[in-house]
Amino acid sequence: MDIKLKTMHSGSKQVSCDKCDATFSCRSAMKRHVKSLHLNIKPYPCPRCDISFGEKRDMKQHVNSIHLDIKPYSCVYCHASFSDKHSMKRHVNSIHLGIQSFSCPHCDATLSDKYHMERHVKSIHLGIKPFSCAHCCATFKNKRNMNQHVTSIHLGIKPHSCPHCDATFRDNLEMKRHIKSVHLDIKPYSCSQCDATFSTKGNAEQHMNSVHFSIKPYSCSQCDATFRTKGNMERHMNSVHLSIKPYSHNQLTWS
């Protein structure tokens, strides 16, 4: 394994992965990264599903957050809770303190740290999605999205249940959006072109782009099809390219 050492301005040395741009404070961390991400060696399987991990702590964090819904790190400014300390700090800095010091060189986006700025550039502007699903050909810009895909699509696990109806969701944020828009009818985002209102800023922008400007920003990675929403694109991928059809013809009723 070719290990490179980088000398930073502070005089400290960092170990750099020879397969990507990732850098680490020690050789052991870099080796774990190579084994897990590049060699796909993941010796720690989840005892509750088919997902495996390169490190034991990642497996425990997955079990706690996905299967047990344990999120011990709470935000001091709001009711949000997180499965790891880093995610909690990132939330506080970007949402409550407005710390977004890294600017994208390709657009007006500002990110809370260098890692997320580089990930933004790779996924949005370069189209790089390094995380591959072990069950199908889907690729993702980060590990969290890949794990959510495996959990919800292939394992059928949606651990977050709405307290008001039978709906279930992949993550807590998705469930909260559902409650605000469906049960509380909170839609603070208005369309500037018509009277439509929406529960999230993303839905308002999506409506503007697709309805008023005919923009379809979501492209299929397997063919030339484009879509107005990410959900439509994912449904196309699942049914056309991955042959995942959750509803059979006999299950459908027509009015």
User: Residue ranges per domain, the chain?
Assistant: 1-41, 166-248
Give the pLDDT band (50/70/90) at residue 245: low
- Taking residues 185-196, report their average pLDDT: 85
Q: Which helix (H) or strand (E) holds 82?
A: strand 81-82
Is residue 19 within 8 A of residue 34, CB to CB? The reply is: yes
Q: Give phi and psi for 45, each to the nearest 5.
A: -80, 145
Q: What is the pLDDT of residues 152-187, one digit of tens each?
A: 788 878 888 898 998 888 778 788 888 888 888 888
- Please give the Cα distance from 130 to 253 (Å, whole number): 40
- Please give the Cα distance from 68 to 81 (Å, whole number): 14
Does the pTM of the predicted model rise above 0.75? no
5 CA to centre of own chain: 31
With a CB cutoff of 8 Å and minimum separation 6, the contacts of 177 are 199, 200
- Please give the Cα distance from 187 to 202 (Å, whole number): 12
At residue 151, what is the residue type? T
Q: What is the pLDDT of residues 78-136, one digit of tens each?
A: 888 887 787 888 788 777 887 766 777 777 777 767 777 787 787 777 777 778 888 88
Q: Which of 166-180, 182-196, 234-248 has the lowest mean pLDDT?
A: 234-248
The CA-based angle 114-116-121, given to 5 degrees, is: 95
Domain 166-248 has CATH 3.30.160.60: yes
Q: Is the pLDDT of residue 68 over 50?
A: yes
- Please give the Cα distance from 147 to 117 (Å, whole number): 21
- Please give the Cα distance from 164 to 166 (Å, whole number): 7
Instruction: List residues bridging with 7 in a β-sheet.
Output: 13
